[in-house]
Structure formats: C-alpha cells, structure tokens
C-alpha cells in the first residue's frame, strides 16, 4: 500500500511540475502533454489502492490497466508534440484498441498462467516501446538517447514480468495480487524505471527552456539576427574551439550607408523594414556556418569560419550586389560599406573586430558603397 501511495504522489508531482513549467514559460506550452501523461499514470496506483478497499474491484481493474497504457501512449504523443513532430496517431490508436480488446478477452482468465500473463503485458510493453522509438526518432542529444534507452529497458521489463509472475505467482484474484511478492516486484521495478525516465524528461524540458531563454536574450528582436551579447558569446566559443594553428576566420563589419537619411525621408517604420530586408539578404547569402549579428542601429557584423580573406571578399560582394538590387519595389534603394579582417596568430576577438571596424571606416571617406580589407586594399569600387 505504501509503495502505491508513493507512486501516485510521484506521478502527481511530475504532472504538477509540467503544468507549472507551461504556466511560467509560454514557449513551453507543449509540456502540458507530459503533465497529462503523468495524470493518467497517477490513476493506476490509485486504482490499485481502490481494488483493496472495495467489494466491486472490476471497474478499478480496468481503469488501472487502461490508465497505465494510456499514460504510455500519451507520453509518446507528448514527446512528438514537444519536439514539434507529428505524433504517431495511428500506432497510438491501434495500441489503445489492442489493449482494451486484450484486457477484455482475458478477463477472468487463469492468473499465473504464462499465456495469460504474456497477453496481459504485451500491449503495455508495446506502448512503452513506442515511447522509446519516439524519443529516439524525434529528439537529439545524449539526454534524448538516454531517455530512449530507459524506455527500452522498461519495455523489456514488461516482457520479463510474465515469467516472474509464473514463477512467483500473481494471485488468483486482483486482491490476492495486491499482496503478492510479484506485485512488489512489478510495482517497484516499474516505478524505478519510469521515475528515472520521468526525471530525464524533466531534464530535457528544463534544458530546452533554458536554451529558449538564452536564445531570446541573445536575439535582436527586429532583425532576428544575434545581438551583440549573443554574437560575442558564440564568437568567443568558436575562437576557443578552433585549433590555434588552423584558425581561418574572417570578421566583417557592415554599416548601411546614409541610414539616417532613410529614416528622415521615409520614416522609422521604413527604416525598420530596411533593417529586416537586409537581415534576410544576409541570411540568404551567407554560408550556413556564418555567425550573423546586428550590433547597433544600422551596424551588422559577420564572423566567417574556414573562409579566407579573398573568399570573404567574394561573399560580401555578393551581399552588396543583392542589397543594391533587392527587388522590393516598396523599399528605397540602399547600400552598405564593409570592412574585412582576417584572423592573425595571437588575435583576440577584440583585436579581430577592431581591425574589421577600422577597415569599415575607410569606405566612409572614399564615397561609401565599398568593401575594404584591413590591409587597405579596396576589394570593390562604387558601382
């Protein structure tokens, strides 16, 4: 009885945790599905307690079985929803129907019989294995693989249970089962594995929530690019991870030309739209490995990894061409000036960015709409 109460409380605490996370973090509303899964799981130990206390155990026997299976199936759906994937609804519906039909078909069967016990555990085993498959298919990283492994172990445990039941005896009735040695094994092993899985799910949710907060804090709301804080953190990490002798990095500082004039002549709303259009151009023309940031009103910075200075010049020149010919009739023509600096041995990030900024300053004295490198050689001229 004590173990059942503990299992019910633990399931309730997990459900409460997910509901609180969903309430605190609007971006984590999908975790409500995890809470629903544990609420269903909570019904099983409560029903097992009721079986011991009532003279009419049949409804609680069915509720205990279907709630456990429902909790597993809800977990499979919740994992998919959390990772923005389509849940395996066909498999979920099939297992739900299979479980109900199987439980009714073996109702009143001979307990302790291996065939009976295998039929009883099969839908449950398949339900938890569906969770394992979903965790492995939809999630990435060590935590998700750990979760898939824990669900796999839980599924294997359900296949082992019939043999343990046949060996130890599960009692001739549901009430007899409640006091059997097999019940202790079944409830304890399931509780340990599912609690470990639940803690892993909670860690995944917390990790994702933290990552979303960091991403929001490090993103410029207007352009959708990194802000200065986000750029500095990612650039420092990239600089630290690159082998010292093989660092091939180029920093690009960009200023939109005469941006104040756009705001004065067309209004700040148009200026915002120009910022957004230019951010789209950077995303579409920069390599996928590039770190893109808006660091000021009309100031942008790009960090190119494994790109030489000549190649960086070609990339930025392509950006310049796309900018001048943006093709959006409702936006004014605009251009930019840029400075390119290549990483040199011993450079800190501040050194690299300072030289790129100095290179970016020169086009302003030469008519703008130009690209310069930190060695002073012009890479493009006014078109």
pLDDT in tens, 178-197: 677 888 888 888 889 988 99
Q: Are 93 and 103 in contact (CB under 8 A)?
A: no
Q: Is 110 left (phi over 0), alpha (psi -120 to 50) or beta?
A: beta
When the pLDDT of each residue in the chain is averaged and rounded to a whole number, the result is: 87
Q: Is the distance from CB of 338 to CB of 363 less than 8 angstroms?
A: yes
Q: What is the pLDDT of residue 381?
A: 38
* Whether the Cβ atoms of residue 297 and residue 259 lie closer than 8 Å to each other: yes
pTM: 0.70
What is the per-residue pLDDT for 365? 79
Q: Which domains does the chain have, with CATH numbers?
A: 2-217 (1.20.1070), 228-380 (3.30.70.270)
**Edge to edge, what strands does the sheet with 378-380 contain?**
291-294, 299-305, 249-256, 336-342, 371-373, 378-380
Q: At what angle do helices 268-285 and 259-266 cross, to 10 degrees?
A: 140
Return the pLDDT at 376: 45
Alpha helices by DSSP H, listed for the chain, are: 2-24, 32-53, 58-82, 89-105, 114-138, 142-168, 174-178, 181-217, 228-241, 259-266, 268-285, 309-324, 349-365
**Which residue would you say has higher pLDDT here, 215 or 268?**
268
> What is the mean predicted confidence (pLDDT) over 230-249?
82
CA-to-CA dists, residue 383 to 83, 201, 240, 367, 371, angstroms: 47, 57, 39, 11, 12
The 3-state DSSP class for residue 290 equals coil
28-37, 220-229, 302-311: lowest mean pLDDT where? 28-37
Tokens standing for 288?
Answer: 């996928």
pLDDT at 292 over 90: yes
Least confident range of 7-11, 154-158, 353-357: 7-11
pLDDT recorded at residue 379: 45
- Confidence band of 377 (pLDDT split at 50, 70, 90): very low
Q: Please name the helix (run of DSSP H) or strand (run of DSSP E) that holds residue 219, with its range, or none.
A: none
Which among 11, 143, 148, 156 has a CA at the least distance from the CA of 70?
A: 11
């Amino acid at each position: 009885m004590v173990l059942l109460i503990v299992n019910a409380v633990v399931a309730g605490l997990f459900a409460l945790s997910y509901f609180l996370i969903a309430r605190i973090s609007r971006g984590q509303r999908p975790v409500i599905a995890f809470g629903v899964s544990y609420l269903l799981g909570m019904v099983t130990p409560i029903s097992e307690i009721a079986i011991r206390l009532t003279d009419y155990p049949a409804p609680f026997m069915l509720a205990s079985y279907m709630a456990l299976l429902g909790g597993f199936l809800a977990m499979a759906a919740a994992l998919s929803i959390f990772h923005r994937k389509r849940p395996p609804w066909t498999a979920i519906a099939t297992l739900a129907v299979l479980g109900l039909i199987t439980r009714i078909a073996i109702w009143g069967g001979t307990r302790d019989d291996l065939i009976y016990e295998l039929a009883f555990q099969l839908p449950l085993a398949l339900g938890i294995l569906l969770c394992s498959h979903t965790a492995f298919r939809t999630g990435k990283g060590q935590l998700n693989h750990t979760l898939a492994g824990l669900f796999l172990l839980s599924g294997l445990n359900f296949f082992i249970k019939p043999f343990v039941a046949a060996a130890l005896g599960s009692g001739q009735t549901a009430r007899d089962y409640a006091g059997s040695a097999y019940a202790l094994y079944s409830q304890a092993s399931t509780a340990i594995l599912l609690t470990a899985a639940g803690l892993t799910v909670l860690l995944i949710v917390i990790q994702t929530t933290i990552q979303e907060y960091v991403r929001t804090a490090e993103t410029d709301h207007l352009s959708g690019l990194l802000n200065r804080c986000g750029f500095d953190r990612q650039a420092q990490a990239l600089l630290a991870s690159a082998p010292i002798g093989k660092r091939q990095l180029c920093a690009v500082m960009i200023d939109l030309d005469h941006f104040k004039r756009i705001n004065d002549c067309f209004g700040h709303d148009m200026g915002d739209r120009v910022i957004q259009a230019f951010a789209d151009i950077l995303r579409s023309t920069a390599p996928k490995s590039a770190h893109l940031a808006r660091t000021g009103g009309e100031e942008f910075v790009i960090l190119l990894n494994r790109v030489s200075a000549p190649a960086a010049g070609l990339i930025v020149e392509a950006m310049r061409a796309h900018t001048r010919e943006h093709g959006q009739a409702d936006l004014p023509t605009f251009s930019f000036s840029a400075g390119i600096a290549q990483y040199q041995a011993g450079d800190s990030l501040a050194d690299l960015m300072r030289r790129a900024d100095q290179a970016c300053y020169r086009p302003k004295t030469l008519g703008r709409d130009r690209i310069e490198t930190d060695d002073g050689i012009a890479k493009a001229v006014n078109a």
